[in-house]
Amino acid sequence: MRLSRYFMPTLKEDPKEAQIASHRLMLRAGMIQQSSAGIYSWLPLGNRVLKNIERIVREEQDRAGALEILMPTIQPADLWRESGRYDDYGKEMLRIVDRHDRDMLYGPTNEEQVTDIFRSHVNSYKDLPLNLYHIQWKFRDEVRPRFGVMRGREFLMKDAYSFDLDYEGAKIAYNTMFVAYLKTYARLGLQAIPLRADTGPIGGDLSHEFIILADTGESEVFYHKDILNLKTPEGDHTPEELQALVDEWTSYYAAADEMHDADNCGVAEGDLVARRGIEVGHIFHFGEKYSKAMGATVMGPDGKEITVSMGSYGIGVSRLVGGIIEACHDEAGIVWPEEVAPFKVGLINLKSGDEACDAACEDFYAKLQAAGIEVLYDDTSDRAGGKFAKMDLIGVPYQVTIGPRGLKTGVVEFKTRKSGEKEEITPEAALNRLV
Ligand code: ATP
Ligand code: MG
Ligand code: MG
Ligand code: MG
C-alpha cells in the first residue's frame, strides 16, 4: 500500500475526548471515527487490525471443532419471550418496532437465536456434540459507553454455543473452549488470565472470565503471582489432557473482586497480586437454562427425550483492538504484536522525488509485495521527522528507511519498533529478515 493512495487520517494532537491511551492512539492513528456515543466507523487501518484479530479468533475456533455460522443482528422479541429474558434484560437491550408493529431487538447476545436453530434441525443424540459460533456485531445500550471501542454500544463479539447430551459432555466442550482461548490470546500477543467467575443461580464452577492486565482496566483482579509463569498449551489434546490443562490453570487462585475472598483464598500474602484488568472473554456453562425453556431436546440412544446441556463462549473482538493497544504501546505510539499488525513493514522513502531513492524504494516495495509481505510505503513528500513519527504512531513492527546517504554505501536502516533498535544493513539482508 502506498501512503499517498491510502486513507489514514492521523492526528498530531491528542484528542480531548479520549481518557485512556488506546482510545487516544486509535483516534490519532486514524483507525476509527465516532459516529455517536459508543458507535464507531472503522477506517482502513483500524479495519485491518479488526480483521486480523477476527481471523485469529476464527482459526482457533475452527481448530477447536466449532462450526461457523452467521446469525442476524436483529432478532424477534418472541424468541426472548420464550426464554423469559425479554423482560429481564432491561435497558441495555435496544428494542425496535417494525412497520407491522412487531417487537424486534438488536441482539446483545444470541443464546435464544442459536437454540432456535438447534431445536429446528437437531433431533438425535448422534448429532452431538455440536458447537456453533459466529462473529457478529452486538448492541448493548451501555449506561456509560467509554474508552472508545473498549466499552462500545455496538461491538463485535465472537460467541460460540455448545450442545451436549449431558454434563460430562458439556464439560469437555467447556474445557475445549478454555484451552482454545488460552491459545487465541497468546497468538494475539497477550497474556490472559482465566478468572473464576460467578455462575449466578446455576451454580457450579464452570464459568471463567479471561482478562488481560492493564492499569486502565475496569475490573479489579486478584491472582497468585505464579499463574503468569504457566506455558500456553500447544497442539491437539484428548479430553483427559484438556481436563489436566484446565486443572493446572485453575489450580492457581485468580478471581475478580466480586468473587474474591481475601480471608479464604488460600494464597500467602506475598504471593497474592492485586491489579486491574480488562475482560476480553467469558465462557459459561449454563446447562439446561435455554434448552429447557425453549424445548431443545434430542432423542437419546434408548429412545427417550433428552434436554441438551449448553454453554456459551464469548470473545470481545472489537474490545481486543483497544485491549491490545493498552498492553502494547509506548510514548511514541502503538507497538503491534506481529500477528495483528495492520502492516508488517513500514517502508520510508527519505527523499521522495530523488531518482535513486525512488528506484531503490520501488524495488524494495515490489520485492516485499512479491513475497506476500504487507507493507505500507511512505512515498509522500512529507518531512523525514514526520514520516518517522507516523510509522511509530501506527506501530508497524518493522521499519525500513531508504535515503540518499545510505544508498551511497549500499545500506538501508532497519528498525524494530518494539526494541527501538536500529541497524544499517544491506537491502538484501533487510529483505531476508522480513520474508
Ligand atoms: P462487561 O463486564 O465488560 O460489561 P460483560 O460481562 O457484560 O462485559 P459478556 O456478556 O461476558 O460481557 O460478553 C462477552 C465479551 O464481550 C466480554 O468478555 C467483552 O470482551 C465483550 N464485551 C461485552 N460488552 C462489551 C462492550 N460494551 N463493548 C465492547 N466489548 C464488550
Ligand atoms: Mg456488561
Ligand atoms: Mg463482565
Ligand atoms: Mg462477562
ipTM of predicted complex: 0.99
Strands 333-334 and 329-330: antiparallel
Q: Which run of H or of E encompasses 358?
A: helix 355-370
What is the C-alpha separation between 189 and 327, in angstroms, rounded? Answer: 9
* Backbone φ/ψ region at 90: left (φ over 0), alpha (ψ -120 to 50), beta: left
> In whole angstroms, what separates CA 389 from the centre of its chain?
27
107 in ligand 1 pocket by Cβ < 6 Å? no
Q: Is the shortest distance between the CB of 194 and ligand 1 below 6 Å?
A: no
β-pair partners for 254 = 223
At position 307, the amino acid (one-letter code) is T
Distances (CA, A) of 306 to 115, 164, 177, 302: 14, 10, 23, 10
Paired residues of 346 in beta bridges: 376, 399
- CA atoms of 137 and 134, how far apart (whole Å): 10
Closest residue to atom 1 of ligand 1, CA basis:
279
CA distance 413 to 410: 10
User: Does any ligand 1 atom lie closer than 6 A to the CB of residue 154?
Assistant: no
Amino acid at 209: E
Q: How far is the CA of 320 from the centre of ligand 1 (A)?
A: 11
Indicate the SS3 state at residue 82: helix
Q: Give, as residue ranges, everything with CB less than 5 Å from ion ligand 3.
A: 279
Q: How far is the CA of 281 from the centre of ligand 4 (A)?
A: 7
> H or E element: which one contains 174?
helix 167-187
Beta strands in 288-425 (DSSP E): 297-299, 305-307, 309-316, 329-330, 333-334, 345-349, 375-378, 398-402, 412-416, 422-425
Q: Say how far apart CA 417 and CA 205 lie, in whole Å.
A: 42
pLDDT of residue 168: 97
Cell of 44: 482502513
Ligand 1 within 6 A of CB of 157:
yes
Question: Are the beta carbons of 311 and 170 closer than 8 angstroms?
Answer: yes
The Cα–Cα gap between 295 and 45 comes to 45
Among positive and negative, which fits the CA dihedral 72, 78, 83, 89?
positive
**If 0-12 CB within 10 Å is exposed, 13-18 middle and 19+ buried, where does residue 337 land?**
middle
Query: Is residue 99 classed as helix, strand or coil in its secondary structure?
Result: coil
What cell numbers appear for 363 in the block? 524495488
Q: Provide φ and ψ at 76, rounded to 5°.
A: -80, 140
Q: What is the pTM of this model?
A: 0.97
Measure the CA–CA gap between 417 and 333, rounded to whole angstroms: 10
Q: Which of 89, 319, 326 to mutate to test the pocket of ligand 1 (most atoms within 8 A of CB)?
A: 319
245 alpha carbon – ligand 2 mean position (Å): 28
Residue 210 Cα to ligand 3 midpoint, Å, equals 10
The pLDDT value recorded for residue 428 is 97
Whether omega before 129 lies within 30 degrees of 0, making that bond cis, reads yes
Q: Name the nearest CA neighbour of 160 among 66, 275, 235, 257.
A: 66
Residue nearest to ligand 1 atom 9, measured at CA: 282
Residue with CA at minimum distance from ligand 1 atom 15: 316
DSSP-H helix ranges across 77-110:
77-83, 85-88
Residue 406 Cβ < 6 Å to ligand 1 = no
Ligand 1: atom nearest CA of 153 is: 27
Indicate if ligand 1 lies below 6 Å from the C-beta of 151: yes
CA 97 to chain centre: 32
Distance 246 CA to ligand 4 centre (A): 19
Low-confidence stretches of the chain (pLDDT beneath 50): none
Residue of minimum CA distance from atom 4 in ligand 1: 151
Q: Is any ligand 1 atom within 6 A of the Cβ of residue 279?
A: yes
281 CA: nearest ligand 1 atom: 18
CB-based contact 52:360 (threshold 8 Å): no
* Cα 377 to Cα 362: distance, rounded to the nearest angstrom: 9
Ligand approaching nearest to the C-alpha of 140: 1
Half-sphere exposure of 347 (CA within 13 A, CB side): 27
Q: Nearest ligand, CA of residue 108?
A: 1
Instruction: Count the alpha carbons within 13 Å of 222 in the hemisphere toward its beta carbon.
Output: 20
The answer to whether the beta carbons of residues 400 and 430 sit under 8 Å apart is yes
CA of 386 to the centre of ligand 3 (A): 41
How far apart, in whole angstroms, are the C-alpha atoms of residue 184 and residue 280? 11
